[in-house]
Amino acid sequence: MYKILVVDDSALMRRVICDIINADSDFRVVDVSADGEDAYNKIKNNPYDLIVLDMVLPKLTGLELLEKLYNEKFTFNAVIVSSILKEDADKTVKAMEYGALDFVVKPIRSGSDTRDVFGRQLLTSLHNVSKSNAFRPVTSSGSSSNDSKSFSESRQATQDRLESVRNHLENIKSGSGSARTASDIEKMGVTNQSPQMSPSKSNQDQPVVAASTPATPSKKAPTGSGVRTKKIIALACSTGGPQALHTFVPMLPASLSVPLVLVQHMPEGFTASLAARLDQISAVHVKEAEDGEFFKPGWVYITPGGKHMEICEDGSKAAYCHLDDSPPVNSLKPCADVMYKSLKDSSFDEIICVVLTGMGADGSEGIKYLNQYKKTYVISQEASTCVVYGMPKAVEQGGLSNEVAPLKSVANSIVKRLGG
């Protein structure tokens, strides 16, 4: 049975969360805290298996608490309880960088229905996290095993590399023809500069664009004109995806010759924060996709939470985004299968499909369907580098993978496939 600390400043919410957790025989709430400072002192002196943590707390906020634990190299496994407010979404994305393993959205309104939904989501998250590759046993009060210390130090090194990339983006040259490796990033020094737009993110030297023609009546006509590319990268990820994307996206070169579209299973409001954070630390542009916009080379487009993405083309075969508000597919919205299936009638010479860490099998049916109509090259993340080896496993065991690569090699695999 996993021992859990619940941290929330609302007595009612603490009671609700405790009742939900204690109803599951795999978990038991052994302690509660109403503020971040008290939680910090309890974590220092007690070996909790999991922490369920609210973002908005007195004395120390949830984010400040995680940062403190992270910097002091404590071993912890945290699930965030967040609101859908933009500022909380921003903090939740940042919390994932400090080691939080997952998050659930706090219900806006009270009531048995919303509590039941929240309860299912919370328990699902706790089960997923406790079974994930990223879960680390907490061995004793205020300390950790050598293995856990090594893991914490590795996370700190990752954070340092992310900050290094962010602070040195202005030095990245747009002519780079290969993906950045982990060793490249480690060689960058840390400065106190604020994030700046790199020269590689200018609008200069863009490919010749094709003229736009009206889209089909059922979809919003794109504005302006689009770029026709011979290939596109379509990526899917879920549990552990935000952490994986923080490693993978900064390794993509500024000279990426095609667009990358992706589905990350996240609620509405959180994908914009994820995109903004990734854009700060990457040589490529990263944004939340908008309905009717053309996809450009060197850009990464994240499907907004609560929408499906379909890739469409205008009369000149330039690809653009259509956001679909239809019901969830297999309880998912966005759903990667929807994205992959939408590429069936596209004019791309090849579609590079990438499937990273995630629970379930989303993406495998879509890729299997797409293979009947288009030339694809499928890269799935190697098991030991996944937080949850579900989605990549479904792709690999389904015989769909052309290449299985560890997370830090995926960017280079893509560049090689593109001919870089």
What are the helix and strand counts (H, E) for the chain?
13, 14
What's the CA gap between 232 and 339, in Å, rounded?
12
Per the annotation, the verdict on 238 as an active-site residue is yes
Choose, from 125, 152, 238, 380, the residue flagged as catalytic.
238
Question: Annotated catalytic residue: which of 362, 364, 380, 409?
Answer: 362
Sign of CA dihedral 363, 384, 157, 131: positive
> Cβ(17)–Cβ(6) under 8 Å?
yes
Strand order across the beta sheet in which 78-82 lies: 27-33, 2-7, 50-54, 78-82, 102-105
Closest CA to 379 of 359, 358, 360, 407: 407
Catalytic entry in 168, 246, 265, 308: 265
Q: How far apart are CA 108 and CA 177, in angstroms?
A: 47
Spatial separation of the C-alpha atoms in residues 209 and 228, rounded to whole Å: 7
225 is catalytic: no
Contacts 24+ apart (CB under 8 A), 129-132: 129/50, 129/77, 129/79, 129/101, 129/102, 130/2, 130/26, 130/49, 130/50, 130/77, 131/388, 132/101, 132/239, 132/240, 132/387, 132/388
Catalytic residues: 238, 265, 362
